[in-house]
Amino acid sequence: MKFECDGKIYDSDAMLQPRIQDKYIIALFITPDYSCVFGAYMSHDAGVIVKRIEGDGLESVAQKTQIPELLKAVDTVKIGNS
């Protein structure tokens, strides 16, 4: 699946896709360098929406799910922002 975020086109087939069990996020997409994390959400009126997960939201999802790829993404983003 291809999607656009911040003016850039991403291809989910080229991304890490760890399984997630969450009542809001139906799928996760993480860039191979762990610098961007996207969540797919189901909207009743718009269908599937893909949005970047960042900041406190990223840390919250990573801590709640303990998905190793998400934890690595949090560390990568923190290092990149230092």
Strands (E), the chain: 2-5, 8-11, 25-30, 37-43, 47-52
Average pLDDT per run of 10 along the chain, which is 82 residues long? 90 95 91 94 90 93 93 84 59
Alpha carbon 55 to its chain centroid, in Å, reads: 11
The model's pTM is 0.87
| pLDDT number for residue 80 | 63
| pLDDT number for residue 78 | 74
| pLDDT number for residue 15 | 96
